[in-house]
Amino acid sequence: MNNPEEFAAELVDHYLGTRLDTAGAPAGLRETAIALLTEALAAGHVETLMSAQLDALAHPSRTQYPDAYLAAEAAAEEALQQAAAGLRVAFAQAGHLGPARSFERGAAARLRDAPHAALRAELARIPRPLTRPEALAWSLDPAPWFSDSRQEELPWPPSGLSPVANMRALPGGAAALSQVADGPHAGWVQIGLIEQHRTPARRYPDQPARQVRIALGLEAVNNDPPPGPFPLAQAPWQLWTHPLQRLAPALTPADTAAQHLSTKAQALVALTDAGTTNIVDAPDRHSGLGLPLYVLAPAASVVATLGVEPTDGICGFSLSDAAGEALICRQWHGHLVHDGNYEPLLPAIAGADLLIRPDLFTRLRDTIGPTRCQTGISVRHMSLAQDDDLDGAGD
């Protein structure tokens, strides 16, 4: 690296920026963390750690890097913790004195990593499923739309994208939704899906960064919706971990929620604030190592109407009722590619879906009103040059 300080600043902002913002950006903390990380980079500590992790995670004759080495994240985290350890002293030197124990406890709560969502996401991971409506079957072909072995371009945008690019909803209402074909959830209905295909830019052979994002979700509509809205609502990921009466007491009575579903136009699947994606503006969420790109959840009105609660025990994203598991969010990523930087391989595909048990889907559809059910859809693609920022483009 040509400029360790510049690289350190990029690592701190990328891995720690959300937590520093959530903590109120304490004066001098970011600068101190950058300075400590710069020293570690210049001294070769990060490179040594990276080599050790690669040796532990990959075969000695490896031809590919693994996707789990975390030297840069570990070094940034260590720099933050070292800097934060002197935070109360720095405040005291500036004339701000306070109770030591409460100050330390409060600072730790604001700056610590929160691994709960990442751990649940790992438990929810499955091999990439084939479940999706026929209109999106073309999206089963994975990124990066370029064959290293054949050195040839594949169609861009992907074949099959154009017919659905301007659709707001799939024909057929709720009948357009797919069902799981086999496995432990065979017959369950997929009421939500979001998946990103992404490949980084490469200088040789020259190729721009490319991205496709597909999203669909069950919606309740009164009239034809406007063309712009994203088919997913927004919600806290704690819908998977806390009883609804703690999160939204006003929606807890099932009859109140059912009335809301049967009369109000709304998205019934939500993109939560647990993922690393910037589609949801969630400035108060803690970023954590291992967070997935997307986590879906049923809308609060759906949870209340069906009377489901977080599943007991160790699990991924799961809600249950008296008959057993009722709704789940599945996670997947794969097709690893490298962008040429000192980071792990990037999953060219990452996604999530939301499944509901068949009897509950029938109950939900009847509550909404079959003629008010719609399968909302959003399909976007973009292509950017090497030095442009792909994140957030087009959203």
pLDDT, tens digit, for every residue of 147-160? 454 455 667 888 88
- Two structure tokens written together for 257: 């929620």
The confidence score (pLDDT) of residue 47 equals 85
Q: Token match 């009859």: residue?
A: 255
* Single-letter amino acid, residue 187: G
Q: Please give the model's pTM, rounded to 2 decimal places.
A: 0.79
Q: What is the mean pLDDT of residues 361-378?
A: 95
- Terminal-residue alpha carbon distance, the chain: 32
Of residues 218 and 290, more confidently modeled: 218
127 pLDDT exceeds 50? yes
pLDDT of residue 83: 82
| Average per-residue pLDDT for the chain | 82
Across 70-74, 238-242, 303-307, 353-357, the highest mean pLDDT is recorded for 353-357
Q: Is the pLDDT of residue 388 over 60?
A: no
Going by pLDDT thresholds of 50, 70 and 90, the confidence category of residue 281 is: very low
Determine contact, residues 128/143, Cβ cutoff 8 Å: no
Whether the predicted pLDDT of 194 surpasses 90: yes
More confident residue, 295 or 45: 295
Rounded Cα gap, residues 275 and 280, in angstroms: 9
What average pLDDT does this structure show over 305-334?
95
pLDDT, position 109? 62
Q: What percent of the chain is modeled with pLDDT above 70?
A: 76
- Best CA proximity match to 331, nearest among 357, 355, 353: 353
**CA distances (Å), origin 42, targets 1, 51, 72, 384:** 9, 16, 13, 32
Confidence of residue 209 (pLDDT cuts 50, 70, 90): confident
